[in-house]
Amino acid sequence: MFEGKVIPERPNHTLLEMRNPLGTIGIISAFNFPVAVYYGWNNAFFIICGNTMIWKGAPSTSLCSIATTKIVAQVLEKNNLPGAICSLMCGGADVCSAMANDPRLPLISFTGNTKVGKQVAVAVQSRFGRNLLELGGNNGILVDESAPIDLVCDTILVYLIKTFEQLLHRMGDPLESGVLLDPLQNQAAVDSFAATIKEAEFLGGHVVFGGKVMTDRPGFFVQPTIITNLKPTASVVISECFAAILYVLNCQDMDEATAINNSVDQVLSSSMFTPQPHLQEQTQWLGPKGWD
């Protein structure tokens, strides 16, 4: 699966290229994709390449981590391989720090917020280790005025909510039929949402929809929120709040929209809606100064 031609750099010389496993790799994943990030986007690739893994999932999704590890171990053992090839550690920031600083883990794959990602990167780099980082972002969406508004709204709605594993519809227990808007993961997430709304209003933002913590029911429920009248440089716009908050910004043209999109530090994903071929082909957001 890794085949390819190896071309010597000089005549009458032979160049030998070999790919060797790194050894034991550390995987640190977030709460919002507790299985996909570990197995689909990390573990499967690492194990194919001959590595073993130590995984630390989010403390709030330990049951998912334990169940997934048991399933993977059963599959390995049925194929005459040790289940411990894919091992698990449960814990909080202390475990994350220990993994980042452990020289026995030559590569750390970290998924989480930008602040912690920087700390992990510094710790791993200080011992000359390797990083794979998937960090935060507010997922900029560029909308041309000629784009089909129904398609734009439907798509934004789905991905705005899906980004933090919430789907907009009836609120309630996510295990109940017909419920598509489940609560945030904990009180800290609710507090972060409320603080972000307060800061946005202080900066001149106008909440045109939502913006409230749902106190009429048990659980960590908040309203999906749309905010206008903020500058692109507003602190809440360029920082990440893990909740369904949509900031609507006005631009003169797509060049200005692209410049705004490329100006923030957080880079995860962005998209463009336009039927105009010349705008579809513009590449400034894919170049050296582009986002993703």
Q: Domain locations in the chain? A: 24-134, 140-280
Task: Check the CA dihedral 230-205-167-151 and report its sign.
Answer: negative
**Segments in the chain below pLDDT 50:** 163-169
Residue 40 carries which DSSP code?
I
- pLDDT value of position 283: 58
CATH number of 24-134: 3.40.605.10
Structure tokens at 254: 């797509």
β 179-181/206-209 pair status: unpaired
What is the Rg, in whole angstroms, of the alpha carbon atoms belonging to the chain? 22
- pLDDT value of position 69: 95
Strand-pair partners of 26: 54, 108
- pLDDT value of position 167: 40
Task: Check the CA dihedral 192-194-197-199 and report its sign.
Answer: negative
What span, in angstroms and rounded, lies between the C-alpha atoms of 73 and 39? 12
What span, in angstroms and rounded, lies between the C-alpha atoms of 5 and 17? 10
CATH number of 140-280: 3.40.309.10
Instruction: Residue 248: count other Cβ atoms within 10 Å of its Cβ.
Output: 15
Q: What is the pTM of this model?
A: 0.80
How far is CA 291 from its chain centroid? Answer: 15
| pLDDT tens-digit readout, 212-259 | 999 888 889 998 899 999 999 999 998 888 888 999 999 988 888 888
114-126 vs 93-101: helix axis angle to the nearest 10? 30
| pLDDT tens-digit readout, 49-82 | 899 999 999 998 999 999 999 999 999 999 999 9
Cβ 222 vs Cβ 213: under 8 Å: yes
